[in-house]
Structure 1
Amino acid sequence: MIKWTYSIFIAYLVLGIYVLAVTIKVPFIGILVDASSGQLVIADLYYPDWAHQHNLEKGDVLLTFDGKPAQENSSIQYYSVARSAKELTFIKPSGVVHTITIQHQDIPEELFLQIIFPIFYFLLSLGVSFYLWKNNRKDKKTKLLTLFLLTCSLAYISTGASARGDLIGMLVIGIGIILCLVLLIHFLQLYFRYLHIEWRYLDTKWLYVLPLAVLCCYVYALFNRGLRELTAFIILGLFVGLVLYAIYILLTSYLRTKLAKIRLIAIAFITPFLPFLLFFVIPEILGHEPILHAEFAALFLLFIPFSFIFIQVNERLFDIEYQLSRFRYYSTLAFFSAVILTSSIALIFLKDISLVTMTSIFILIFLVIIASFYIKEQLDFKYRKIIFSSTGNYVHNLYAAVNRMGKAKNQQELLNLFKYEITEKLGTTAFLITTETEVVPFVRGEIIEKMGTIQLLLHDAGEEKVVLKIRHSLQKEELLWLELLSLYVSMFIDNLKLIEDLVQEIQQIQDANDTQLPWLDKLLWNIIEKEKSILAQELHDTILQEQLHLARELDVLAGTSIIKKEKVLDIREQLLNATKDLREYCENLSPPLLDTFGLQMALKKLIQKVKIRADFLLNAHIERVQFQDVTLHLVVYRLVQELLNNAIKHAEATEVSLKLQAIQHGFILYYDDNGIGCNIEDLMQSSASMGINGIRERVRAFNGEINIASNHNEGMHIYIQIQEDGDSYD
């Protein structure tokens, strides 16, 4: 598979370099001629500004191309178009003969649209594709995205070679624009399966017939040049059909699921392809003059958003929806600013500036403004404490206030902390928190102002209501801060009420029975003592023994007359190793990566550690799982941790397989080893059952299913499935 992937990259490089070399070798001029009179009379000019600078006009007669008679040019013979040349000789109606030398820099439109932009896109696509493949080698969805990006890039950079009549360039662009769409639809089919969305459309494997059909058309056109125009018409027709089909898939899927990720993919696809379709392809098919020439319309392909890529590479390190929303906001501001600035420049230099130069200036200004927004954002974040005063930084203050109030143990303490925050933040003591029994004319979280008094309902328990009243004028930012903080206070009160009701219910059960609650006491005691026993055993067998050994070595060292430096350094190294082991125990008790980077990254780190210290070959496949109940992330981590620890201590296996599979509203965990196995009933009676029982208890606590199969010398096979309660999705 790796050799196959390298072959794809090498083929991309070879084809890309070839078509770019063809484009760079000879400038494109695109002169349409009329040979009906026996002479090659210029009928139309593709670059009128360049032609005007060199006194080349309609009605002039072409004589030679690069020193050869113009009639011998194959492109003129078959298509009546002079595609490219380095030197051109023509005669004016007056009889004056002119010879001009053509360079790329003489035609800025051709230089930018066929050379500079394609080279940039070629290198960018190669770099991003290689990065994707390197970090996601086993993900088929990512491989399809990589192929889509490379194919789309090849199709774009081949426009110059195709315009010059190069056969390979025409093959690449003809097959590429069809294949890239088929690859995209194939990616959608796999991505829908990943999201557990039903695929109600044609199986993508049948669409791969279309690029093969295009190839057959080109092969047939080699023997009949007259079919080349028909082949181009067929390719454009297939392109229109595939684009509309992909849009249909995305729109109907989004309307059916309302998923934000589907909406993002739809935007990412429609943005670059639809303008190319509307401005060039459809007018060309209908036989009309395109609104934009091919290279201008293809510019939209440069803006293929990499949100496709972000969906795959993000490991919960950032929020893709937030990133794209921010980019859309910055792009909107930058677009209108760039339009105003470019229009001003165009008005000042109206006669001295071409369309391509204006486009280049617009793109440059657009990118500079976007970059400035991002730089400003980073500077604001870094120097926020200097720019904003402590009283004006409402977001930071809100976070700090919620953090402080979250430590309250009862409702009264919570309200006291709330009063403190209002006094400190709003700078007033003219407020009152009351408990009322009458009906209030507003709902929880709603702020109303009546007769100079601001009122806000903090909590509604039916028979009593907690109301905040402030006799102080507040600014808009202060009202927003107060509203958000009040919502937090309301939720805190609800949670405290639930806890108090639970404690009261337990107390009533205890009072009614006039006894203690042995089941509760026993359960808590067993859980605490069991965890303490496991931790004590682990520390006793590892770090404590190491410390005693080091103490004995220090005693021996103290009894010698000469203390060797090497010996002291060796003891120091052993102490550092013991400290490292202790740190690992602390990380196992509370894995820091879990909260910071998410479950998948934490499991990868755990598996890496196990592979280092284990004697068996560990084959792990971890899918990304998402839960409404965040505690399930810790449950999955603990289950994997217990299974692997059990394999290290008891399995005596040479191979262990672990697979975490995402299902709708839950997960399935498979564990297999080829170890010594055991009799399940005997295992439950032995001390080695501590880990297995712990796994069972965790699964049953979350209403999960667990199956354990094992026999002597037949390894162990464990199946675990847990699904969240339906209430989590109401």
Structure 2
Amino acid sequence: MKKCTYCIFLTYLILGIYVLGITIKTPFVSLTLDTTNGQPVFVDSYYPLWAEQKNIEKGDIIVSIDGQPAMENRYVQQQMIVRSANALTIQKADKSIQTIAVKHRDMPEELYLQILFPIFYFFLAFGVALYVWRRNQNNLSTFLLILFLLTCSTAYISTGASARGNMIGMFVISSCIILCMVLFIHFLQHFFKYLQIKWTYPHSKWLYLLILFIPGFYLMEEIEPSLREFTPILNLSLFAVLVVYAIFILVTSYLRTKLAKIRLIALAFIVPFLPFLLFFVTPEILGHKPILHAEIAALFLLFIPFSFLFIQVNERLFDIEYQLSRLRYYSTLAFFSALLLTAGIALLFMGELSIVHVTSIFLLVFMVIIASFYIKERIDFKYRKIIFSSTGNYVHNLYAAVQRMGKAKNQQELLDRFKYEITEKLGTTAFHIRTITDDSPQHVSYYPQLLLHDAGEEKIMLEIRHALQKEELLWLELLALYVSMFINNLQQIEDLVREIQHIKNTSDTPLPWLDKLLWNIIEKEKSILAQELHDTILQEQLHLARELDVLAGSPTIQKETVLAIREQLLNATKDLREYCENLSPPLLDTFGLQMALKKLIQKVKIRADFLLSAQIDRVEFQDVTLHLVVYRLVQELLNNAIKHAEATEVSLQLQAIPQGFILRYDDNGIGCDIDDLIQSSASMGINGIRERVRAFNGDITIQSSLNEGMHIYIQIQEDGDSYDEHTYYR
């Protein structure tokens, strides 16, 4: 799939560069001529300002084009038009001969609309398509979206070559304007499937047959040259039908589902294509003069890459409702701000600005303000975490303070630590924590107060007798919120401990909820094991039973068949033994942890396609469960290496330390992005490792990035009070 995609990208790139080279090679002039008297007489120009600057007047005779007689030019003969030229020789009415060098820079409209804007659009769409593909490579909807973007950009950049009469350019633009619509409708069908929306329209695969009409149009031209005037009309009509069909699908689907995703796609499609359809395509089909030239109407297509950049079927890049709400909010603020600023500028330059100028100023100011809001949002996101003041970084200190307070074992210790944090950070002792009950005397305070805990009949209040800055007050409010949650959790734990202690002292009856929890855990493990056995060994046994049935009904029994069945039975028995060993490693209890790990590593070396180097020290623990923990950690690390790492070298080291151990794992595999790993199915093994380490108050550090392998450091000691739990991702 990757090679195919690379070939597609390369093909579009080569086509784009080729048609761009044709456009740059020769400037587009489009001079309309009258050849009825046998001479090419100038009538009109596509760029009248340029013709006026070059002193080309109506009635002038075009003598030669790029050094060749004008009447020998194919387009002069067939269409009475000069499409492009680098040099023109004209004869004035006074018989004087004038040679004109045609340069792109002399025709700004041609330079911008046929060269600069198409280059910008092509490489922008190419970059967006490449970016979308890199983010999600294995999805058909994304692939169709990429093809749509590339086809639109190729159609746009080929307009210059087509206008110059280049056959490849004309064929490319004719094919691409049809193909891009077919690809978009095909994309909609798969996107609807992803959204679980029923597709009530004809299957999009039949639309690809329309592409076959394009060679047919050109073949008809060769057979009957008089049809050349109708070929573009047929092509544009087909394009118009597909655009209307796509709009119909989007509008009816949105009315049926009311989904914001459909609304966004509808806007992203209608905004670029509808102006091109209404202002150029429709008048051309009806035989009228277009309201806008094709190059100007096509400028709306510039919205396509920006619109579809965020539309990905996995929604990892874009929360549609959130983005729309931001856009509405920012647009409202920007509209009124831009309106006031534009009104002020209009009053300042009263009478000097036309309506067009005022509108342009308003749009410019509006867009600049919206962009400023988004830039401010990004800056705030980066720097609001660090609120600078004379006493340092409040937010970072908040995280550290919460972590320190979270170690409190009871409510009083928690409040003591809270006081300590306030004193250290704010540099004041002018505060008081007091408990208010229903029986407490009424107390009127003239100082700000924060509610730390409310249990109905009892409230814990923080009274502040010191003037605070806004940043300090924000820090204190957030810290108080955490204190409130900590108190609630501590009280629930204390109530639970008292309940357990009470039941223990009064009776031997076990706790119902504890029994239920343990039962659920056991049943979940049973279900997982049952599914594993069903999908593997049981299926193998059923397959062997069917083979034995066939063998029993056979008049002759072949020895090779019986031996093959026996071999399969031995393999199934081997798999079952491995399941049993994984559930309860027999060597662990018999010969100890070191021997069990060596046996496990030996088995992995046989299965794995990487070079495994292992160094296993002898470790001893007072808590015998730690032996099983170490075994499970090593087992899970090696399983992940086999399934996901794609490594050629894996290193494992178990080192004994006082009252604990250090386990190091390194591989040179594909690595991963830690944020993506946590959300993927492959994170189940990593999360299991983290949970085991966390259960024994251990430290775990995971370092990984794409194509740079994975490195895991684990340290666990039996004295859990001396070591805090930390998990780092880098």
Query: What is the DSSP-based 3-state SS (H/G/I as helix, E as strand, rest coil) of the residue aligned with 1:407?
Result: coil
Aligned partners of 1:32, 1:452: CA distance in 2, in Å?
A: 88
In 1, distance between residues paired with 2:283 and 2:48? 22
**1:540 corresponds to which residue?**
594
Partners of 2:388 and 2:158 in 1: CA distance: 53
Q: Kindly state the Cα deviation for residue 155 of structure 1 after the two structures are TM-superposed.
A: 1.0
Residues 126 and 256 of structure 1: CA distance in aligned 2, closer, same or farther (over 3 Å): closer
Give the structure, 1 or 2, with the largest relative contact order (CA under 8 Å, sep 6 or more): 1
Offset of residue 147 of structure 1: 1.8
Residue 85 of structure 1 corresponds to 85
Asked if the contact 1:12/1:150 (under 8 Å) is kept, the reply is yes
Q: CA deviation at 1:609?
A: 4.1
Partner of 2:258: 256
- Three-state SS of the structure 2 residue aligned to 1:144 is helix
Give the distance between the partners of 1:66 and 1:489, measured in 2 at CA: 84
CA distance in 1, matches of 2:635, 2:188: 35
Partner of 1:166: 166
Check conservation: 1:603, 1:637, Cα contact below 8 A. Answer: no
In 2, are the aligned partners of 1:214 and 1:235 still within 8 Å (CA)?
A: no
The 1-side partners of 2:315 and 2:258 are apart by 27
Aligned-pair distance for 1:160?
Answer: 0.8
1:236 and 1:285 in contact (8 A); partners too: no
Deviations 1:110-168 (A, max 9, x none): 33443345445555655665676678654323322332232122112111111112333
Q: Give the structure-2-normalised TM-score.
A: 0.58
- Out of 241, 245, 249, the residue aligned to residue 244 of structure 2 is 241
**1:141 touches 1:191 (CA, 8 Å); kept in 2?**
yes
Q: 2:234 aligns with which of 223, 231, 236?
A: 231
Summarize the Cα distance change of 1:9–1:632 in structure 2 as closer, same or farther, 3 Å threshold: closer
Q: Show structure 1 runs of 5+ residues with no match.
A: 440-449, 548-572, 594-601, 615-623, 642-730
Tell whether the 8 Å contact from 1:280 to 1:294 is kept in structure 2 after alignment: yes
Question: Which residue matches 1:470?
Answer: 464
Matched residues in 2 for 1:451 and 1:275: separation?
67
- The one-letter amino acid of 2:86's match is K
SS of residue paired to 2:407: coil
Quote how far apart the aligned CAs of 1:242 are: 4.8
Counterpart contact for 1:218–1:231, Cα < 8 Å:
no
Change (3 A) 1:91 1:634: closer
**Does the 8 A contact of 1:458 with 1:466 survive in 2?**
yes
Residue 568 of structure 1 aligns with which residue?
none
Q: Which residue of 2 aligns with 1:47?
A: 47
Whether the 8 Å contact between 2:448 and 2:464 is mirrored in structure 1 is: yes
- Describe the superposition over 1:459-491 as per-residue Cα deviations: whole angstroms up to 9, x where unpaired: 444444444443445444444444444444444
Shift of 1:511: 4.5
| Contact 1:158/1:170 (<8 A) preserved | yes
Counterpart secondary structure, 2:88: strand
Match of 1:607 among 624, 643, 648: 643
Answer whether contact 1:178 1:238 (CA < 8 A) is retained.
no
1:92–1:313 Cα change, 3 Å: same
Which is further off, 17-26 or 276-285?
276-285
Query: Aligned in 2, Cα 1:496/1:285: closer, same or farther, shift over 3 Å?
Result: farther
Larger Rg: 2
**Is 1:101 aligned with 2:95?**
no
- Residue in structure 2 matched with residue 18 of structure 1 by the alignment: 18
SS of the aligned residue for 1:541 comes to: helix
How do residues 14-413 of structure 1 correspond to structure 2 at under 5 angstroms?
14-33=14-33, 42-57=42-57, 60-76=60-76, 79-93=79-93, 95-119=95-119, 121-122=121-122, 138-196=138-196, 198-199=198-199, 203-213=203-213, 216-217=216-217, 219-220=219-220, 223=224, 224-238=227-241, 240-242=243-245, 244-245=247-248, 247-248=250-251, 251=254, 256-258=258-260, 269=269, 272-273=272-273, 276=276, 280-281=280-281, 293-302=293-302, 304-305=304-305, 388-389=388-389, 391=391, 393-413=393-413
Number of aligned positions between the proteins: 554
Deviation for aligned residue 1:83: 1.7
SS in 2 for 1:152: helix
Verify the 8 A CA contact 1:192 1:199 in the aligned structure 2.
yes
Deviation at 1:29, TM superposition (A): 1.1
In the alignment, the residues of structure 2 paired with residue 587 and residue 130 of structure 1 have an alpha-carbon distance, to the nearest angstrom, of 44
Q: Aligned partners of 1:199 and 1:459: how far apart in 2?
A: 54
SS at match of 1:31: strand
Give the distance between the partners of 1:186 and 1:39, measured in 2 at CA. Answer: 51
Measured in 2, the distance between the counterparts of 1:428 and 1:400 equals 19
Give the TM-score normalised by structure 1.
0.58
* Equivalent position amino acid for 1:28 in 2: F
Whether the aligned pair in 2 keeps the contact of 1:459 and 1:467 (CA below 8 Å) is yes
Deviation at 1:234, TM superposition (A): 0.3
- Given that 1:240 and 1:282 are in contact with CA atoms closer than 8 Å, whether structure 2 keeps it comes out as no
Q: Residues 435 and 466 of structure 1 are in contact (CA less than 8 Å); yes or no, is this contact kept in structure 2?
A: yes
Gaps of 5+ in 2: 523-580, 602-610, 620-625, 651-672, 691-730
CA distance in 2, matches of 1:591, 1:315: 34
Does the aligned pair in 2 maintain the 1:23–1:115 contact within 8 Å? yes
Please state whether the residue corresponding to 2:31 is helix, strand or coil. Answer: strand
Q: CA offsets per residue over residues 8-63 of structure 1, 9 Å max, x none? A: 34543453343233223321112344667886554543334433432234564444
SS for the counterpart of 1:56 is coil
Q: Which amino acid aligns with 2:595?
A: D
The answer as to whether partners of 2:633 and 2:689 remain within 8 angstroms in 1 is no
CA gap 1:328/1:454 in 2 versus in 1, 3 angstroms = same
Q: Among the aligned pairs, what percent are the same residue? A: 51
- SS at 2:21's partner residue? helix
